[in-house]
Structure 1
């Protein structure tokens, strides 16, 4: 029995949604629920085709409450003819909330506040953007999707650290048990919620994790061993791959 347990392996695919309308417009998006562009649809479709070539049978899928991630998952599952598998949507997997920066053009924000300040807001681990209150249109308390949740737990602006502090508890309680059981999973989410998962799986330091990028619509395929040790990891589209951490859990 102990030998069988040590041999448990699972496949985990992380995919960032395809290009969104505000990605294309170079705007801070966060929790604003924008749709995919035509390019984003094509990226999601290609993600399904690339995964089909890997011939993986998935047991369960997870995604956020945001349509760009949900649609990317739909098209990916359609591409591998696995739309029947259970899908769980969780707001905890949403993108980082960009607070008062939401909707602003990134270059115009640099022109106004300076490159250094915008870099701190975007790429520091623990510095949040300016907050918005619960009366703001972009606060999730005013979005019907979150009507059943206490506004006190919904963010008005988050650092990557704050995002990690909501993503990882959800991952540990709701997702990790599937991996412990040797199941194959796919998660369609967002650049920063996926960074939070990468930080945990690869044991990346706080100061280093903001530097890792997830390309849109390019699945990251990982094989995990006992205790979610990363045995291998690669982006399926090598031409659009980004750097990965060098070491996983030991």
Structure 2
């Protein structure tokens, strides 16, 4: 088995209606906008151009991630691929912030407090989850269900959310709490990881999907 066969591809879902309106989404089940649909298709197209073909895929229990994955697989000609859905991959729970416009939240709680809730590792929004709490459910699931697939040589695709993927990137890249505050994944951004036989990351590639509508 070669190192290139131990491949994990992470993709954030395409633009949702909550993204479009700059709302805290969290566990809200916001669907994709027309731009989000185009982004998902383009992400699949870009992976196809690079020669990617997958053996297994994982996604969350939320519509925006599931629909992104479905559109990507259709573009890759892999609509019948086995897909595993798990709440462990859901976006972080934003609690009382969910459904609020970010500017409204800043006006209510202050710019610095809202930034801490959004970007820091430990800060817990009212009634919600910190990034650390998200990692507590996601990383064990990754180790138990996803990593073994990768190490057995199954080309693995994960489509999830900005913060759930941030917590996984933190784990894979060995980032500190300070470092992860600066990590941002754009909608439909692609991250490609390749691993050695011991499970260590050999290299990482980031691919942005640029879909613009008039």
Report the alpha carbon displacement of residue 7 of structure 1 after superposing the two structures with TM: 5.4
CA contact (8 A) 2:186 2:208 kept: no
Asked if residue 166 in structure 1 is aligned to residue 137 in structure 2, the reply is yes
**Aligned position for 2:27:** 31
Pairing 1:197-216 to 2, within 5 Å after superposition:
197-216=168-187
- TM-score, scaled relative to structure 2: 0.93
SS of the counterpart of 1:211? Answer: coil
CA contact (8 A) 2:21 2:101 kept: yes
- TM-score, scaled relative to structure 1: 0.80
Pairing 1:66-77 to 2, within 5 Å after superposition:
66-77=62-73
**Aligned position for 1:18:** 14
**Aligned position for 1:47:** 43
Can you give the 5+ residue segments of structure 1 that lack an aligned partner in the other structure? 132-156, 241-250
- Give the length in aligned residue pairs: 211
Work out the CA distance in 1 between the residues paired with 2:196 and 2:54: 16
**Aligned position for 1:116:** 112
Pairing 1:56-135 to 2, within 5 Å after superposition:
56-131=52-127
What do the CA deviations read for 1:138-188 (whole angstroms, capped 9, x no partner)? xxxxxxxxxxxxxxxxxxx10000000000011111111111112110000
**Aligned position for 1:136:** none
Match of 1:193 among 164, 179, 185: 164
Work out the CA distance in 2 between the residues paired with 1:45 and 1:212: 24
Asked if residue 225 in structure 1 is aligned to residue 192 in structure 2, the reply is no
When the two chains are superposed, the root-mean-square deviation of aligned CA atoms in Å is 1.7
What do the CA deviations read for 1:161-219 (whole angstroms, capped 9, x no partner)? 00000000111111111111121100000011111111111111122112101111122
SS of the counterpart of 1:78? Answer: helix
Can you give the 5+ residue segments of structure 2 that lack an aligned partner in the other structure? none
Work out the CA distance in 2 between the residues paired with 1:43 and 1:83: 17
